[in-house]
Amino acid sequence: MNPKQVGTKPPEQNFFYGGQALIEGVMIRGNNNLSVSVRKPDGNIESKTTVISQIFTGPVKKIPFIRGSLVLIETMFLGIKSLIYSANVSAGEEEEEIGNLGVAISLSISLTFTILVFFVLPLLVVHFLDSTILSAQTPIISFTSNLIEGIIRLTFFILYIWLIGFMPDIKRVFQYHGAEHMTVKAYEANLPLEITNIRQFSTAHPRCGTAFLLLVMIISVITFAFLGRPDLWLRIISRVILIPVIAGIAYETLRFTGKHSDNIFVKWLIIPNMALQKLTTKEPDDDQIEIAIDAMENAIEADQKDLTKINE
């Protein structure tokens, strides 16, 4: 492999690259472009770079707290499209182009599942406790009830990640997740994207998308703890409508900790984030790192071409 020398950030570009692990592949989200690289059954790499919709790159993306919800939807939308592409390529099948409607349906199903399992179900469990051991209507009991709900939600989330990690296919996805993190960190360290350089870094990254979800769970625990105990239907509605608010706070927190990850206080603050990544990332092999390098190089190259056009 002949790596392109793209290890140094363009001075004009103040942007943090990120990505997602796929089935036998890696997706890198650039400034305006999305790059996906997947290992084919014959061992070759198939890559695709597309322009990201202005819905996800427009002015809303610059509004603090509002952009958190947009990022959450964007991550799921682009992630679903990339996963479908990687599944087809890695299986040696013809690429089946999925339209925005199909992705929107898949996104709706995913969001519904997430809300039901991680927000509504813990509330229903606590509602049962409310009718038995937590039936007293006092502020401290209400606070305790909501706190227990949050702990159950957080437990469900961690258990879910832990359990899926036993699936062989998911284990490989977690390896690609590690490769993606290591490659991004090498780029951010201004190193040429070569396997020997990338091997210097750990698989954990302070801006990990899993950390974003963990922050959503933790912030929801704190937020919902102070909402009292109105009727069940009102509690369910409050959990759903406050998700965008919580996502906004979580995203800004993640951006802050990502920018200041060398700060001693921030290092302490992100301990849960980095610890969770012991479940969601695994040490990759060289072939998997090669995939991450390819995706990263393609995303950077596409963004640099955009900058060249702007400066012409």
Mean predicted lDDT score pLDDT of the chain: 88
Per-residue model confidence (pLDDT) at position 138: 72
Residue 77 identity (one-letter amino acid)? F
Q: Does residue 46 register a pLDDT over 70?
A: yes
**Span 231-242, average pLDDT:** 92
**Could you read off the pLDDT of 221-236 as tens digits, one per residue?**
999 999 988 888 999 9
Least confident of 2-11, 59-68, 282-291: 2-11
Q: Is the dihedral of CA 300, 301, 305, 308 positive or negative?
A: positive
**pLDDT score, position 8:** 47
Tokens representing residue 43 in the block: 């061992």
Q: What is the pLDDT of residue 135?
A: 63
Residue 95 — pLDDT band, cuts 50, 70, 90?
low
Is the pLDDT score of 53 beyond 90? no
How open is the CA angle 306-6-75, to the nearest 5 degrees? 60
pLDDT band for position 160 (50/70/90)? very high
Q: How far apart are alpha carbons 79 and 173 in whole angstroms?
A: 13
pLDDT value of position 13? 44
Element (H, E) at 19: strand 18-22
* Spatial contact of 38 and 24, defined as CB atoms under 8 Å apart: yes
Judge whether residue 5 has pLDDT over 70: no
Tokens of 249: 């706070």
